[in-house]
Amino acid sequence: MFNRNRIKDPLGDRIFMGINYLFLVLVLIVVAYPLLYIVSSSFSSSRAVTSGQIWLLPVDFNIKAYISIFKSTQLMMGFYNTIIYTVVGTAINVILTVMLAYPLSRRSFYGRGAIIIFMMITMFFDGGLIPTYLLMKDLHLLDTRWAMWLPGALAVFQVIVARTFFQSSIPDELREAAEVDGCRDIRYLVSVVLPLSKPILAVMTLMYAVGHWNAYFDALIYLRSENLFPLQYVLRNLLILNAADPAMLANTSQQLRDQGFEQVLKYALIVVASIPILIMYPFVQRHFVKGVMVGSLKG
């Protein structure tokens, strides 16, 4: 960088860049430190956590907390339920979104404007919590898995993003060619449009999936049976309401059953609950950025 024979930046610019780097390093530390601290605490001994010895790296490295977590049937049930909610829920989301977005991207589709208005209205008006709850009750969906899939089955924002993509990235000539060959609309959508729309489908799937993985509100409102609770709801009981599962503490020796071990457990829970998304995240980060950008084209 310095041995290149180029004109030096003026002093003002160099000072500015210095401050800029300083600012960004500070931001980096502020964001990264708590994350590191959580991971380190989860691998530390309870004594180290309670006596406040951890500043950056684990003290008395061990994985006892993680072993305890996998003994909790409550938590494993939560994982199992969340996986079901995420897989089925995301499938419903993506299918409904494409079904609505594709016809709306076709200029010759009569009634397009009316449906768009019909759809946009739901972005600005909604019935609110209680009327929605009463509807779910009337439909006998309370305390069923459907309560986790149906209330948020379609995000209008995602429909707009997908429609924009179909409209701007799939050339009309393709459809004309397909039509000449006798290809009807649904077949054209499935065998031509969707394979060409992989980037936007990836983004949509990921955004919906993250939403399902992190959802707890619908469970709080609609679910009563313990065997239906998703991970986040179980986590809320364990982490925030401090109702530790006895199974997690059962096999630990008496001296570990103090507040300290519960603290370590909490850190480990945070790591375990967030890891599926955080592992996936670096691979898809590029897509997420793309998704936000497509959405901003026509907000």
Residues in 49-88 that interact with another protein by CB under 8 A: 49-50, 52, 54-55
172 sits in the region (left: phi over 0; alpha: psi -120 to 50; else beta) called alpha
Show contacts with another protein in window 180-219 (CB under 8 A). Answer: 184-186, 189, 210, 213-214, 216-217
Q: Which alpha helices (DSSP H) does the chain contain, by range?
A: 11-42, 46-50, 64-69, 73-104, 112-124, 129-138, 146-149, 156-169, 172-180, 185-188, 194-196, 198-214, 217-222, 231-235, 246-250, 259-297
- Of the candidates 268, 269, 249, 251, the residue with the CA atom closest to the CA atom of residue 259: 249
x/- map, 114-133, another protein, by CB under 8 A: -x--xx--x-xxxxxxxxxx
- 287 lines the binding site for another protein (CB under 8 A): no
- Of the candidates 50, 74, 47, the residue with the CA atom closest to the CA atom of residue 61: 47
- 13 lines the binding site for another protein (CB under 8 A): yes
Show contacts with another protein in window 224-243 (CB under 8 A). Answer: 232-233, 235-236, 239-240
Quote the tokens at residue 12: 């003002």
Quote the tokens at residue 172: 């009309």
Residue 75 CA: distances (Å) to CA of 78, 89, 226, 232, 296:
5, 20, 11, 10, 38
- Residue 256 CB, nearest approach to another protein (Å): 16
Of the candidate residues 24, 57, 87, 250, the single one contacting another protein (CB under 8 A):
24
- Residue 12 CB, nearest approach to another protein (Å): 5
- 145 lines the binding site for another protein (CB under 8 A): no
Q: What is the DSSP letter of 174?
A: H
Per rule CB under 8 A, count of chain residues that contact another protein: 93
Of the candidate residues 153, 155, 174, 194, the single one contacting another protein (CB under 8 A):
153
- Residue 253 CB, nearest approach to another protein (Å): 21
- Residue 97 CB, nearest approach to another protein (Å): 8
Of the candidate residues 182, 195, 246, 299, the single one contacting another protein (CB under 8 A):
299
Show contacts with another protein in window 249-268 (CB under 8 A). Answer: 263, 266-267
- 174 lines the binding site for another protein (CB under 8 A): no
